Every structure is written in C-alpha cells, then in structure tokens.
Amino acid sequence: MAGVERTAEVWHAGLARFINVIPHTRELGLEVVAVNPPRVQLRLPWRGELLGDSERGLVHGGVLSMLLDTVCGSSVLCGLPEPEVCPTLDLRVDHYRPALAGLPIMAEARVLRVTRAMVFTEGTLWQEEGRPIARGIGNFVRLGERNTPPGFAAALFGEE
C-alpha cells in the first residue's frame, strides 16, 4: 500500500506505538507531543536516571544523543511515502548548553531531504523555548520495501 494518505492523528498514534515497543524509550516515558509529517515533536519527562553530573545537576550527554536519534528516526518514518526500516548511518550532535536536571527535554526533528538510498534529518532539543541545548543532524539508510519486515506499517498503525 505505497503512498497511503494518513492524518496527523494516525501518525501520532503510530509513533506513540513505535516508541512504546522500544524498551529504553518506553521505560524513560518518552511521549509524542505533535506530528505534522515530516515533522515530529517528542517530550522526555525528567527522571533521576537521566542524571550524568549529580554535583552540578546536569543530564548525561548520552541521553541527548538517544533523544535526537529517536526524534530524527521518527521523522524519517513519517517522511516517506510508506514507513520502512531506516537504520541510523550517522548522527552528529552539537551541544550548545547543558541540559538541567529537573526539567523535561523537548525534541523536534524534520526530514530535510529524501533520496533513493538515504534520508537526511535535523533535530533540536530544548528545555526553555528559544534556547536550544543541542542540535543533531541524522542520516538514515533506506533499506526499502524488500528489506522491511512484512507487516511493518500494519503493526505501526495497529492494523494487524
């Protein structure tokens, strides 16, 4: 069913389902805030397990990388005519300021370009509107319909 039109609400539910089957994103309580294909916004609530520097109250940098990879990958899913498996090839993270303990982290990503073999994305993280804490550029390899498990889209959208 290539190129099926889906509403933002359908994508929202599908991405929430996708995030909920990934063990670490489920355990961390990652939430889908908004989906306007090919743009996605997620929210990571504050949890003590995110702490990297307890003395200064800072979130671990690995958490930020995980969040950028997840939000960029989510934008890839809804940025293609039909969802397909697209593993991360490269993720560059630029850290602008530390993420502070006690505050949720917002993430937004969008697809910049789609080719036959690749999907290029950019994402931003923030805790206060207008003050980014990190930016990421994610490049994803398109495996195509042939290498995407049968029923992938149906499972994503609860059509099994």
Measured CA to CA, the distance from residue 123 to residue 83 in angstroms comes to 19
140 within some domain: yes
Count CB neighbours of 18 within 10 A: 20
Domain containing 136 equals: 8-156
| Mean pLDDT of the 93-109 span | 98
Question: Longest Cα pair distance anywhere in the chain, in angstroms?
Answer: 53
What pLDDT, on the 0 to 100 scale, is given for residue 156? 86
What pLDDT, on the 0 to 100 scale, is given for residue 98? 97
Token digits of residue 59 = 């979130």
Count CB neighbours of 27 within 10 A: 10
115 within some domain: yes
User: Is 2 a residue whose pLDDT tops 60?
Assistant: no
User: Using 50, 70 and 90 to split pLDDT, how confident is the model at 155?
Assistant: confident
SS3 content of the chain, % helix, strand, coil (to 5): 30, 35, 30
What pLDDT, on the 0 to 100 scale, is given for residue 1? 42
Q: What is the pLDDT of residues 10-60, one digit of tens each?
A: 999 999 999 999 999 999 999 999 999 999 999 999 999 999 999 999 999
- In the chain, the number of structural domains is 1
75 within some domain: yes
CATH code of the domain covering residue 53: 3.10.129.10
pTM for the model stands at 0.93
| Mean pLDDT of the 137-144 span | 97
Count CB neighbours of 7 within 10 A: 10
92 within some domain: yes
3 within some domain: no
